[in-house]
């Protein structure tokens, strides 16, 4: 059931934790940073959260004004969850928490890594020496446009108008590639990465230079 627990502390930090301090709440916020998502998509992205627990967190976050719901069409149809203007202000906080957490120990297996997580990491990478690149990225069954321009990586949901390269993989493999350049040749050979286009352009996207 949704919780109404409070620290009963008037400090702004405590009041913030009253809103987003429950288990999974900030991970829901993380998943909504790039694009609105359906309940089923959030369940897929957070496989270790039960349906009931996720539903509770969504109700709490909506009650507090952090997220909202809207229908994809004007008629009866699926709803998506999205961050409100106030909820969007959590983005730099969540990103800073992620930067801090890089030095924390890895959790025990089995672990998960969502598409949003690895795309946020890729988006935060600097590519100052790379020429412009547009990549069509099929990640976990969803298509993204990843662009390198002016030394920065930009990520958008949906198909690019044109693309220099096309890449298909899964979040964990992409995360491994970003962490270890030496794993690219093996991933290509094993088929966990499918590339159409210039291998050098892919290396520039992943590692810069």
Widest Cα–Cα separation across the chain: 57
Token pair listed for 163:
């693309």
pLDDT at 75: 63
Tens of pLDDT, residues 73-99: 766 678 999 999 999 999 999 999 999
- Which strands, in side-by-side order, build the sheet including 142-149? 152-157, 142-149, 133-139, 165-169, 194-196
pLDDT at 1: 61
Band of pLDDT at residue 181, cut at 50, 70 and 90:
confident
Work out the average pLDDT over 112-128: 94
pLDDT at 13: 96
Work out the average pLDDT over 188-209: 94
Percent residues over pLDDT 90 in the chain: 89
Tens of pLDDT, residues 32-56: 999 999 999 999 999 999 999 999 9
In the Cβ-directed half-sphere of 129, how many Cα atoms lie within 13 Å?
6
Q: With 90 as the cut, is the pLDDT of residue 4 above it? A: no
pTM for the whole structure: 0.93
Average model confidence (pLDDT) for the chain? 94
């Amino acid at each position: 059931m949704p919780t109404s627990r409070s620290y009963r502390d008037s400090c702004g930090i405590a009041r913030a934790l009253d809103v987003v301090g429950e288990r999974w709440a900030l991970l829901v916020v993380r998943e909504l940073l790039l694009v609105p998502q359906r309940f089923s998509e959030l369940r897929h992205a957070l496989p270790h959260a039960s349906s009931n627990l996720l539903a509770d967190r969504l109700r709490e976050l909506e009650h507090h004004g952090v997220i909202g719901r809207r229908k994809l069409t004007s008629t009866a149809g699926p709803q998506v969850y999205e961050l409100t203007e106030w909820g969007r202000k959590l983005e730099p906080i969540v990103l800073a928490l992620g930067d801090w957490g890089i030095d924390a120990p890895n959790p025990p297996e089995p672990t998960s890594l969502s598409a949003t997580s690895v795309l946020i990491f890729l988006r935060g990478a600097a590519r100052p020496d790379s020429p412009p690149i547009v990549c069509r990225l099929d990640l976990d069954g969803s298509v993204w446009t990843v662009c390198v321009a002016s030394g920065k990586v930009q990520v958008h949901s949906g198909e690019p108008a044109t693309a220099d390269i096309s890449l298909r993989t899964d979040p964990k493999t992409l995360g491994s590639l970003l962490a270890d350049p030496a794993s690219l040749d093996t991933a290509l050979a094993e088929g966990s990465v499918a590339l159409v286009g210039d291998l050098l352009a892919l290396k520039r996207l992943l590692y810069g230079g």
